[in-house]
Amino acid sequence: MLSNHLQNGIETAKLVWSRIPNSEDGEAVGLLSTSAGGSTVESLDYEVIENYAYREEQAQRGKLYVGYYVVVKWFFALLIGIGTGLAASFINISVENFAGWKFELTFSIIQKSYLAGFLVYLLINLALVFSSVYIITQFAPAAAGSGIPEIKGYLNGVDIHGILLFRTLIGKILGSIGSVGGGLALGKEGPLVHIGACIASLLGQGGSTKYHLSSRWLQVFKSDRDRRDLVTCGCAAGVSAAFRAPVGGVLFALEEVTSWWRSQLMWRVFFTSAIVAVVVRTSMGWCKSGKCGHFGSGGFIIWDISDGQEDYSFEELFPMAIIGVIGGLLGALFNQLTLYMTSWRRNYLHKKGARVKIIEACLISVITSVISFGLPLLRKCSPCPESDPDSGIECPRPPGMYGNYVNFYCSKDNEYNDLATIFFNTQDDAIRNLFSAKTIHEFSAQSLLTFLVMFYTLAVVTFGTAVPAGQFVPGIMIGSTYGRLVGMFVVKFYKKLNIEEGTYALLGAASFLGGSMRMTVTLCVIMVEISNNLKFLPLIMLVLLLSKAVGDAFNEGIYEEQARLKGIPLLESRPKYEMRKMTAKEACGTQKVVSLPRVVKVADVVSILRSSEHNGFPVIDHTRNGETLVIGLVLRSHLLVLLQSKVDFQHSPLPSDPITIGGSRSIGHNFSEFAKPVSSKGLSMDEIHLSSDDMEMYIDLAPFLNPSPYVVPEDMSLTKVYNLFRQLGLRHIFVVPRAARVIGLITRKDLLIEDAEDSNTVELQSTSVRGRQRDVRSFTRNTDAERPLLNGLLA
């Protein structure tokens, strides 16, 4: 009988294991190729395509529609804040409850048997991590990792398919609960940035059509520019929800992820972060009544140290500077080690399929559980210090409860295990213990050093597995550990009783984050907001500046390194030094430009689209003198729409009637039909079916091209082209020979437009651009130091 049950169990296990796919079962393709030229990476069209359809649509819009458009943007900002706040509250409640139940059950079992408690602890962690990695590998592969490099690439102008889908959002939420609740050396703060971006993107496109969760009245924004603004609001909302730091969220979006910023966007981002703060605070207030299980006991400030050290002396600046240097060194080393580990995983381990990814995550979970449970068993317990009724700290703490002084594997009731206080605990509670004031001599140097080495190693090994993984909280854990270690030596050296080790733990956390992520203003504000202590703002600024300077001497920030490894072609804020010696013509290379005539045969368009992977094609026309004239740029996506609809096909190879801005020619498309769906790759040639008669037809491209693309002369330095490309968010830029003549110059004065008093029209304050022709010599004579502020109009 027993053998039959055993045989059935073995067969069931084999059946479950066989359903886990391997590399032959259709392994999901990775997000990106290892090179920047991967086929899965495209650019976003942030530039406004001012073709005839766009101008016709703008002419039909009045001031009422413009006001409605602005109101909808603010309404979407409200929805993004509410959605991100609710998602963050759900994740926090779930993680705290899973972790709370796990530790409560484990502490109740170890009162009788430590072995049984360890097995229960290990199995719960393993189940949570397995659920996380299984969801990621089978349902949402794009949800692995923190997601910040991908979102940064999106806001930089790189379209990465799959990162903003509805299933990515669900996978990120559920996967974060499993990976963080399972005790891995990861955080949920980075994934919350990705979650906020997904919510913003889904709202911007009106929901998910694949899962029948779309609404037509939400489908207002059709351009990548508007969607970019919404995703920026989502990123800020994610940080605001993760750390309950609304101002830090705004600065994170400004400093770290966005490449393009304006004052109107600042207001909406600030509004979104404020809404998130209100939603999170409301959910926490509701949970304080005990309706959310283990969640709700903390305040809005995550790690409050306002009752800690009241002031600092000049002598303490040197050890605090040492903390900044240590943070820069350890942060740079962390970036390099994670880069090597991630590269090895991508090139060797993860190529073997989803089954290997699942085994890897589960194996790391087992190792983490063994270390966090086993190492405290090797540590001798310490007697509890004399209780201070004003501190509110109990020693030892009751089993399964939050706080300092954990009684773990101690022979006496009035003893505690300092290593279990930080190891056998949730990360949030371990940081709270490290930051705590009035707990001098709670931790020994040996325990802190042991924890630092082991947790640092676990963080390096765990980052890059197929689970949602953030590095904010693990970075705070690592930094606060060596910060408190330095604080212990400062207390012994200066013999001062008013020095708190928790203050140095805060500075250490800031230094490691600065050394790893290379942010300054954002981290400074976040650390102040989560600790509720403005007195140490100058010290936080000091360690952040030092850690960033030291880290920059070795490598780039962790998000830039990971983006490069994933093949995301980021355009950083500063061009490379070598670009100063290169020109625009040299950057074009030797590849031949594929151009289209104004009236092109359908068969020729199909042939060019099949043989070329370009996303933009110059359109040329011929003047009466036989000269070639570039009249604009047409996008590949627009050509595919024209081929699929067929409504603008014509039999004649001659151009249609001339089109002017005020013309009355009608076309078969409106501007919104050319918008590419954000959750798909758009049309492809395989989806378009043309008959032999269709192939003999013609298309006049004039109404659909962009008649005013950005143009630079061939001898412009590549540095100048780089800055122009990045600051304007361009996808294409024309390189042309040096122009033969100038037809005008535009200055600041020419751009000052005022409303006319007697009509609804507007007029320019300058008369220099009202159609009067001047030769080059007259412009040269009348040009002063302020006139050439903008580029001239080139013939």
CATH fourth-level superfamily of 62-296: Clc chloride channel (1.10.3080.10)
CATH fourth-level superfamily of 577-657+669-751: CBS-domain (3.10.580.10)
Q: Which has more pLDDT, 601 or 300?
A: 601
CA 33 to chain centre: 19
What are the CA-CA distances from residue 643 to residues 22, 296, 370, 677, 707 (Å)?
Answer: 40, 58, 61, 17, 20
pLDDT of amino acid 211 = 60
Q: What is the mean pLDDT of residues 319-348?
A: 94
pLDDT 10s digits, 658-696: 544 344 445 666 666 676 665 556 677 878 888 888 899
> Dihedral of the CA atoms 299, 300, 305, 306 (nearest 10)?
-100
Residue 494, token pair as written in the block: 């200066």
pLDDT 10s digits, 437-493: 777 788 999 999 999 999 999 999 999 999 999 899 999 999 999 999 999 998 888
> pTM to 2 decimals?
0.85
pLDDT 10s digits, 705-755: 888 889 999 889 999 999 988 888 888 899 988 877 888 888 888 778 665
Q: What is the topology classification, in CATH, of domain 303-361+376-570?
A: Clc chloride channel (1.10.3080)
Is 219 a residue whose pLDDT tops 70?
Answer: no
Highest mean pLDDT among 45-54, 292-301, 497-506, 694-703: 694-703
Q: What proportion of the chain, given as a percentage, has pLDDT over 70?
A: 82
Reported as a pLDDT band with limits 50, 70 and 90, residue 515 is very high
Q: Where are the domains of the chain?
A: 62-296, 303-361+376-570, 577-657+669-751
One fold for 62-296 and 577-657+669-751:
no
Read out DSSP for 730-774? Answer: -S--EEEPPPS-B-----TGGG-EEE-SSSS-EEES-STTSS---
d(CA 633, CA 749): 30
Residue with the two structure tokens 């605001």: 240
Mean pLDDT of the chain: 82
Reported as a pLDDT band with limits 50, 70 and 90, residue 508 is very high
pLDDT of amino acid 395 = 83
pLDDT 10s digits, 20-34: 444 333 333 344 443
> Dihedral of the CA atoms 316, 319, 324, 329 (nearest 10)?
180
pLDDT of amino acid 576 = 84
**For 280, how many CA atoms within 13 A lie in the half-sphere containing its CB?**
29
Is 773 a residue whose pLDDT tops 50?
Answer: no
Q: What is the mean pLDDT of residues 586-608?
A: 88
pLDDT 10s digits, 143-177: 999 999 999 999 988 888 888 889 999 999 999 99
Is 245 a residue whose pLDDT tops 50?
Answer: yes
Grouping H, G, I as helix, E, B as strand and the rest as coil, residue 526 is: helix
Q: Which has more pLDDT, 760 or 523?
A: 523
pLDDT 10s digits, 44-101: 888 878 777 777 777 777 778 788 888 889 999 999 999 999 999 999 999 988 988 9
Torsions phi, psi for 289 (to 5 deg):
-80, 0
pLDDT of amino acid 292 = 81
Q: Point out which residues pair with 416 in neighbouring strands.
A: 382
